[in-house]
């Protein structure tokens, strides 16, 4: 029979060496048996001494490449050339040495857990070792934490957990946990490698808003409604949705209607806006409370009231120089047209509404408006002016319209309405109807009074009938003939009803005409007559003399 021991060859051994011997128990050392090797690696990895049966290696082996070789052995009798033993199969095993380093799988390791968690699994790390997992400790792996204690630990084999519950993201939000793996059960002659587990803490709402200070703002009294007064902000250690908050102003005060607060969702600030017009002269200071409340409170971490905070706002109204204000929106004065130049018509006045009362001057100095030229109602019956008041220091100004109405004075004499050229037809009585005009405009209307110039003797030829506002010239006798006289002069007085009354005297030239049957006096007849007297027509008209008398 065959005699052999278990055959082993250590891997990675560079030297050629005898690893064992195959023998037939009939071999007496006479070199009569020939040993032959065949199978895996025969000839190039393993050779056999054909006389002694010693097997030796030819090259170094790698267990991780091939862990065992199956070979066949023959023992042949050299004399008979017959097999001395039946062909037999045997196995050469490659013995493991610790020539592989453990390797982490599935790197990199990234993990995130919510802050404030109880002890929890962060990651599972796995390393592999190519060495023989069965023989020896070459592939027996041990994990440990190189960096990350005391917050993290590795549980029995490969599980990394937080050993520090309630970790606070606001204190630190990322940890690099370095894990080492060692083979040989961690003995000092083993191999090792390490990996990093990046652990991030995610936010939970474990902080409420907190105001860091009180706020004071100033706003000019003329600020438009909608103006931003200022911004306030409560701190919140959390991020994202856990830091979102809504601001409000204490609404049980009258102040709350003057200002409103809006939340800037980008910056998480409270923006205070003016909601009502301000007036420094009425109210100079507003004090109110502002509140910030988290939108997503989480009562697992804090009490509900800890998700809100308050602060105090002071808003000071600043005085703004406002333009002067006239005491009346418009002025209307009446002045008689005959007032003397220099007379004061009236005064406008303006005041400065600001609290610091600056001297206000209306130009001219005290706002008194005087007459500088003689007024004539008949030329211009209204004088409408715009008066501007300007503050002397900052030139803020405003203006007012002043209407000055010129009142009528009886300063015009009444006159006959036109140049009458009366004539009397031979043999008739009514000669002429007269009317008068006057540029004045008495409030009660015109009343003209006509009369003849009083003389010692009553005029025997004509009389005048006053019809109230008109008058008729009547003949006192029935017959006038051109034979007796061709012309008569008749002075007529017309007076108005003014106080004082004014009057004028016009002298009418009454011609005697030989009229046509319809009573019409041919102009030629009169003119020819006038020429025959050697007097021009202009001279005749010039005879109408005006006398202005004040009676
Ligand atoms: C306005 O000033 C003028 C001259 O400066 C003066 O004569 C006049 O009396 C003043 N009028 C008033 C109303 O003060
Ligand atoms: C002045 O104002 C009066 C009253 O408003 C108006 O009747 C008049 O026409 C105005 N005169 C002029 C010249 O503007
Ligand atoms: C009146 O008429 C007569 C006759 O024509 C004339 O002589 C006389 O002067 C006239 N008197 C007056 C006052 O015109």
Q: From the CA of 363, how far away is ligand 1's center (Å)?
A: 12
Which atom, in ligand 1's list, is nearest to the CA of 366? 1
Helix ranges restricted to H, 24-155: none
User: Would you say the CB of residue 459 lies under 6 angstroms from ligand 3?
Assistant: yes
Output phi, psi for 537, to 5 deg.
-65, -40
What is the third-level CATH fold of 103-202?
Immunoglobulin-like (2.60.40)
Instruction: Provide the pLDDT for residue 164.
Output: 79
Beta bridge partners of 390: 361, 397
Q: Whose CA is nearest to atom 7 of ligand 2?
A: 382
Q: From the CA of 381, how far away is ligand 2's center (Å)?
A: 9
Residue 338 burial class via C-beta count within 10 angstroms: exposed 0-12, middle 13-18, buried 19 and up:
middle
Does domain 210-317 sit in CATH 2.60.40.60? yes
pLDDT in tens, the chain (551 residues): 888 888 899 998 888 889 999 888 888 888 889 999 999 999 899 999 999 999 999 999 999 999 999 999 999 998 899 998 899 999 999 999 999 999 999 889 999 999 999 988 888 899 999 999 888 899 999 998 999 888 998 887 767 777 778 899 999 999 999 999 999 888 888 999 999 999 999 999 999 999 999 999 999 999 999 999 999 999 999 999 999 999 999 865 565 589 999 999 999 999 999 999 998 888 899 999 999 999 999 999 999 999 999 999 999 999 887 778 888 889 999 988 888 888 888 888 877 666 554 444 444 567 788 888 888 888 888 988 888 888 777 778 888 888 989 888 888 899 999 888 888 887 666 678 899 999 988 888 889 999 988 877 788 888 898 888 899 988 888 788 888 888 899 999 999 988 788 999 999 998 888 887 777 777 644 443 433 333 333 333 333 333 333 33
512 alpha carbon, closest ligand? 3
**CB within 8 Å of 379: residues ≥ 6 apart:** none
Instruction: Provide the pLDDT for residue 149.
Output: 85
Instruction: Provide the pLDDT for residue 541.
Output: 35
Residues with CB under 6 A from ligand 2: 382, 384, 403
Q: Whose CA is nearest to atom 14 of ligand 1?
A: 366
Instruction: Provide the pLDDT for residue 548.
Output: 36
The number of beta carbons lying within 10 Å of the beta carbon of residue 504 is 21
Instruction: Provide the pLDDT for residue 326.
Output: 85
What is the third-level CATH fold of 2-95?
Immunoglobulin-like (2.60.40)
331 alpha carbon, closest ligand? 2
Beta strands in 118-258 (DSSP E): 121-124, 127-128, 142-147, 152-155, 159-162, 174-182, 192-202, 210-211, 215-220, 228-232, 234-235, 245-249
Instruction: Provide the pLDDT for residue 499.
Output: 79
| Alpha carbon of residue 384 to chain centroid | 44
Beta bridge partners of 288: 313
SS (H, E, C) 426-466: CCCCEEEEEEEECCCCCCCCCCCEEEECCCCCCCCCEEEEE
332 alpha carbon, closest ligand? 2
Q: From the CA of 67, how far away is ligand 2's center (Å)?
A: 124
**CB within 8 Å of 508: residues ≥ 6 apart:** 420, 422, 432, 473, 489, 490, 491, 492, 544
Q: Whose CA is nearest to atom 11 of ligand 2?
A: 382
The number of beta carbons lying within 10 Å of the beta carbon of residue 312 is 14
Instruction: Provide the pLDDT for residue 173.
Output: 93
Pick the CATH number of 415-543 from 3.20.20.70, 3.30.565.10, 3.10.20.30, 2.60.40.60: 2.60.40.60
Beta bridge partners of 489: 509
Q: From the CA of 468, how far away is ligand 3's center (Å)?
A: 28
Q: Where along the chain do the CATH 2.60.40.60 domains lie?
A: 2-95, 103-202, 210-317, 325-407, 415-543
Instruction: Provide the pLDDT for residue 356.
Output: 53
Q: Whose CA is nearest to atom 10 of ligand 3?
A: 461
Does domain 325-407 sit in CATH 2.30.30.90? no
């Amino acid at each position: 029979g065959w005699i052999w021991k278990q055959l082993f060859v250590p891997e990675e051994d560079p030297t050629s060496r005898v690893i064992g011997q195959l023998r037939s128990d009939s071999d007496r050392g006479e070199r009569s048996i020939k040993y032959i090797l065949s199978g895996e690696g025969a000839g190039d990895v393993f050779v056999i001494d054909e006389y002694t049966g010693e097997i030796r290696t030819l090259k170094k082996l790698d267990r991780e490449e091939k862990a065992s070789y199956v070979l066949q052995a023959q023992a042949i009798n050299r004399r008979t050339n017959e097999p001395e033993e039946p062909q037999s199969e045997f196995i050469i095993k490659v013995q493991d040495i610790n020539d592989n380093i453990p390797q982490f799988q599935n790197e990199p390791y990234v993990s995130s857990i919510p802050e404030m968690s109880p002890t929890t699994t962060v990651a599972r790390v796995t390393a592999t070792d190519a060495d023989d997992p069965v023989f020896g400790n070459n592939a027996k792996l041990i994990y440990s934490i190189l960096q990350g204690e005391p917050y993290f630990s590795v549980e029995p084999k490969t599980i990394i957990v937080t050993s520090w519950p309630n970790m606070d993201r606001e204190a630190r939000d990322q940890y690099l946990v370095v894990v080492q793996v060692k083979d040989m059960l961690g003995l000092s002659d083993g191999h090792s490698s390490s990996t990093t587990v990046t652990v991030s803490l995610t936010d939970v709402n474990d902080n409420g808003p907190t105001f860091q200070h009180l706020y004071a703002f100033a706003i000019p009294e003329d600020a438009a409604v909608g103006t931003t007064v200022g911004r306030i902000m409560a701190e919140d250690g959390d991020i994202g949705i856990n830091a979102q908050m809504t601001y409000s102003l204490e609404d049980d005060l009258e102040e709350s209607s003057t200002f409103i607060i809006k939340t800037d969702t980008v910056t998480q600030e409270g923006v205070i806006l003016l909601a009502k017009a301000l007036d420094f002269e009425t109210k100079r200071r507003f004090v109110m409370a502002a509140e910030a409340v988290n939108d997503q409170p989480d009562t697992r971490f804090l009490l509900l009231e800890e998700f809100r905070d308050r602060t105090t706002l002071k808003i000071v109204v600043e005085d703004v120089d406002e333009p002067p204000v006239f005491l009346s929106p418009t002025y209307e004065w009446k002045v008689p047209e005959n007032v003397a130049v220099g007379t004061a018509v009236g005064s406008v006045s303006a005041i400065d509404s600001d609290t610091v009362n600056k001297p206000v001057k209306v130009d001219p100095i005290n706002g008194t408006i005087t007459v500088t030229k003689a007024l004539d109602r008949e030329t211009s019956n209204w004088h409408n002016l715009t008066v501007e008041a300007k503050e002397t220091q900052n030139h803020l100004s405003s203006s007012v319209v002043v209407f000055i109405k010129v009142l009528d004075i009886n300063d015009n004499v009444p006159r006959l309405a036109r140049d009458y050229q009366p004539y009397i037809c031979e043999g008739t009585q009514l000669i002429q109807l007269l009317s008068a005009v006057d540029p004045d405009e008495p409030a009660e209307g015109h009343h003209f009074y006509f009369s003849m110039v009083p003389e010692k003797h009553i005029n025997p030829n004509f009389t005048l009938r006053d019809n109230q506002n008109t008058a008729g010239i009547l003949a006192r006798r029935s017959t006038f003939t051109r034979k007796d006289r061709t012309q008569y002069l008749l002075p007529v007085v017309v007076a108005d009803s003014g106080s004082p009354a004014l009057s004028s005297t016009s002298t009418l030239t009454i011609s005697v005409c030989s009229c046509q049957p319809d009573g019409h006096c041919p102009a030629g007849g009169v003119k020819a007559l006038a020429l025959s007297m050697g007097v021009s027509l202009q001279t005749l008209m010039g005879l109408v003399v005006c006398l202005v008398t004040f009676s």
